[in-house]
Structure 1
């Protein structure tokens, strides 16, 4: 999830664990704990594009990290914060780290919660930024912040924030189940034979959902809004995996393919190859739109394969928001 959401969750968890004893310091250190795992983004900048992607939401989002660094940071905090013991600070940090990782499990990218095992958990039921999850949570946290330490109202507001946000998360799982049924029913009614299907919410909401559908030679992408009145339409994107040619056995390219979980297409422009990661959709929900949210250029420089992410711009984001708002209202 985004940084603000993780800060809010970390602060609320810190308050739940140690707020009664140390007051606002519990929220402060909880917020810090909610931020630390995402520092892997800055570590990734020291490496090439593919390695950075492999590092993101890896070790720092694992149960092992929560246990090990929960104790390390808890002990360090106890050296100058005497209001609680090292064990109590360690408990706060552990839950701050772990809940951060657990929240990210529900997104499309997911986390390697059981690192070093190479399994990335991704439930794909909430977008990385969702105002309906974050804003009510933030309001209850702020209400708790201005209540006296240990007061019943403080605990009540904090607990309400955790309950409301968790309830919304459950609703997104229910929504995913409903939309999955709608997509598979549409495929059956339209006589479309497929190998695999993945569903996820579109950016910033859980009203409009998308599906990636794998067929023999192409991927289909379809959209379903809870306000739809017409049948779901699916748009085809040819795999073109054969275009990789000499890169088919390239180690770096295959590492990138592994990251995509096999959900990718290849396009060719101006004698350059591009690998498009389908998991994060397109930069518009307009029919047959061609620009993917995550696309990587594959080149050979000085005898080495070089992979770079295609940059996005603000115009893409503006257009996406317009298209989303229109499509959310139904087809």
Structure 2
């Protein structure tokens, strides 16, 4: 049950645009979770006639909801109330956090060495992971407060995690005409020298009415348009900026009055265009 919501990864096999259109939407909603739990519990009951349907249902539902909770703390976010509402994300943890992996693996190794009961080991792992996530959430809030004090007139501030340390964060400050991107660490005294992304390109009709573009703009928290040429444009979300590459991009190609839109999972080598 806990793995079921990620069945939507099959969508990218069918068509890569479906990844942006539907990933973490209908399979990651608390409104649809009971329906999926009922469906899976029914399958388990058919396979195990002597099993108790209600037990299967609640166990699967707990597994699905725990998956949603973990996906909620990473920057990509989920459509928590799909088909209603906006995207939700806490951005406390990186999608693959080596500390969390260590907290999950270490108790298992300890169990092998000390012959601990599996139930106790699982409980220890759960407590350690939850404690670490709450600690990350605290540092996230402290970083957000710190930058609100530094930039009180900003339109919006985003705090993004890094994979190797809970004390290092990526910070995006949105202003009227530009975004400022910082790499901030709590233990390292540093002068703040932001990378600036100018808002010198706008998304206007009919481009903003295209299905893929419309979905991207609804999902993106810090949308930035990057111009490669007079006929090629990229829609970026600065949450997923990296000095060497951008992740999760929509490419627009204008050709003889027609607009071709394409979703790209990773786009290397263009991160410096229109930025300084």
CA distance in 2, matches of 1:72, 1:143: 37
The one of 133, 143, 146 equivalent to 1:179 is 143
Q: Secondary structure at the match of 1:216?
A: coil
The one of 238, 242, 248 equivalent to 1:294 is 248
- The change in CA–CA distance for 1:304 and 1:83 in structure 2 (over 3 A counts) is same
1:80 aligns with 2:47: yes
CA distance in 2, matches of 1:145, 1:73: 32
More helix by share: 1
Q: How many angstroms does 1:143 deviate by?
A: 5.7
1:251 aligns with 2:215: no
Q: How many angstroms does 1:225 deviate by?
A: 0.7
Q: How many angstroms does 1:240 deviate by?
A: 2.1
Is the 8 Å Cα contact of residues 144 and 155 (structure 1) preserved in structure 2? no
Q: How many angstroms does 1:83 deviate by?
A: 6.3
TM-score of the pair, normalised by structure 2: 0.85
The one of 151, 154, 158 equivalent to 1:194 is 154
Q: How many angstroms does 1:292 deviate by?
A: 2.8
2:274 corresponds in structure 1 to: none
User: Which string of whole-angstrom CA distances, capped at 9 and with x for unpartnered residues, describes residues 252-290 of structure 1?
Assistant: 3233222213x1221222441111111223245xxxxxx
- The change in CA–CA distance for 1:122 and 1:249 in structure 2 (over 3 A counts) is closer
Equivalent residues, number:
267
Q: Secondary structure at the match of 2:132?
A: helix
- The change in CA–CA distance for 1:119 and 1:254 in structure 2 (over 3 A counts) is closer
CA distance in 1, matches of 2:101, 2:50: 30
The one of 226, 230, 235 equivalent to 1:275 is 235
CA distance in 1, matches of 2:180, 2:100: 29
Q: Secondary structure at the match of 1:122?
A: coil
1:115 aligns with 2:79: no
CA distance in 2, matches of 1:35, 1:146: 28
Is the 8 Å Cα contact of residues 107 and 121 (structure 2) preserved in structure 1? yes
1:234 corresponds in structure 2 to: 194
User: Which string of whole-angstrom CA distances, capped at 9 and with x for unpartnered residues, describes residues 270-328 of structure 1?
Assistant: 441111111223245xxxxxx43333311146835322316357x99xxxxxxxxxxxx
TM-score of the pair, normalised by structure 1: 0.72
Structure 1, gaps ≥5 residues long = 1-32, 285-290, 317-331
Q: Secondary structure at the match of 1:69?
A: helix
1:33-48 aligned within 5 A: 33-47=1-15
Is the 8 Å Cα contact of residues 172 and 182 (structure 2) preserved in structure 1? yes
Is the 8 Å Cα contact of residues 147 and 153 (structure 1) preserved in structure 2? no
Q: How many angstroms does 1:142 deviate by?
A: 6.1
Q: Secondary structure at the match of 1:34?
A: coil
Is the 8 Å Cα contact of residues 201 and 227 (structure 2) preserved in structure 1? no
Q: How many angstroms does 1:229 deviate by?
A: 1.1
The one of 19, 32, 43 equivalent to 1:52 is 19
Is the 8 Å Cα contact of residues 40 and 60 (structure 2) preserved in structure 1? yes
